[in-house]
């Protein structure tokens, strides 16, 4: 079972999300939160696989809570918000969110996104994907992240795959390894480079010149 904590300041929205997720045979909502501080406490206590996180909440906002959770390695975070704003997308991804979706997403796609994040893949709303790519393309070159020299040859291959946006399954196919091994390599790459998410790893791969 995929264990999920749902964080949203609107009780009716939370109830709807819980109903959608609990209807999936492989997903269980183990906790709820109405703000970022509660989300951090719930996740720290319950250790879910995924926290479904709203951004704009009273008190501690979702981006701050996301950064706390990912820095501590407590859970993967999938941001779900009403607001299609570039600064929120960039802020969530920089904080280490594994995915960013809008609340217009339909129920099956939401459940699939939770599954993807739980197995270590990233998810980005189609509505914002092109803008994110455009901003990354226009980003000035930066020096490679520290720790790159500590990666093994295979880990560099995996980092290059992350830079191309490949899922764990696609990395496994390309490198002729199992998906479980691919997931392990991804975790090691993130740890060695001090990164919190696949998105940050993709940026590191581009800075290191590992993306054609």
pLDDT digits (tens, 9 = 90+) for 133-158: 676 666 666 677 888 999 999 999 99
- How many CB atoms sit inside 10 A of residue 192's CB? 18
Name the residue with higher pLDDT: 12 or 196: 12
Contact between 28 and 4 (Cβ < 8 Å): yes
Mean residue pLDDT across the chain: 91
> Which is more confident, 143 or 120?
120
Decide if 78 contacts 113 (C-beta within 8 A): yes
Across the range 11-35, mean pLDDT stands at 97
DSSP 66: H
Q: Which region among 10-24, 64-78, 135-149 has the lowest average model confidence (pLDDT)?
A: 135-149
Pairing status of strand 123-124 against strand 76-81: unpaired
Predicted pLDDT of residue 138: 66
Q: Which residue has the higher pLDDT, 28 or 202?
A: 28
Radius of gyration of the chain (CA): 17
What is the b/e burial string over 19-52, where b = at least 16 CB atoms within 10 angstroms of the residue's CB?
Answer: ebbeebeebebbbbbbbbbbbbebbeeeebbbbb
Using DSSP, how many helices (H) and how many strands (E) does the chain show?
A: 10, 6
User: Of 38-42, 49-53, 97-101, which gets the smallest average pLDDT?
Assistant: 97-101
Q: Which residues contact 19 (CB under 8 A, 6 or more apart)?
A: none
Coil, strand, or helix at residue 146?
coil
Which residues, listed in sequence order, are joined to residue 100 by a DSSP beta bridge?
79, 124
For residue 148, give the DSSP letter: G
3-state secondary structure of 99: strand
> Do residues 56 and 81 make contact, with C-beta atoms less than 8 angstroms apart?
yes
Region 127-138 average pLDDT: 73
Contact 200, 124 (CB under 8 A): no
- pLDDT at site 146: 85
């Amino acid at each position: 079972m995929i264990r999920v904590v749902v964080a949203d300041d609107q009780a009716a929205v939370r109830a709807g999300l819980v109903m959608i997720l609990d209807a999936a045979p492989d997903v269980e909502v183990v906790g709820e939160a109405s703000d970022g501080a509660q989300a951090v406490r719930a996740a720290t206590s319950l250790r879910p696989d995924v926290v479904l996180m709203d951004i704009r909440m009273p008190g501690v906002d979702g981006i701050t809570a996301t950064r706390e959770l990912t820095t501590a390695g407590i859970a993967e975070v999938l941001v779900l918000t009403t607001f299609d704003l570039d600064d929120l997308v960039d802020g969530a991804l920089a904080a280490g969110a594994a995915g960013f979706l809008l609340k217009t997403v339909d129920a099956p796609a939401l459940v699939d996104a939770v599954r993807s994040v739980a197995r270590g893949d990233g998810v980005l709303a189609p509505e914002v994907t092109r803008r994110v790519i455009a901003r990354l393309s226009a980003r000035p070159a930066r020096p490679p992240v520290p720790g790159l020299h500590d990666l093994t040859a295979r880990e560099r291959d995996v980092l290059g795959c992350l830079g191309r946006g490949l899922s764990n399954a696609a990395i496994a196919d390309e490198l002729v390894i199992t998906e479980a091994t691919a997931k392990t390599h991804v975790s090691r790459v993130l740890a060695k480079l001090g990164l919190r998410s696949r998105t940050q790893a993709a940026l590191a791969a581009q800075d290191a010149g590992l993306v054609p």
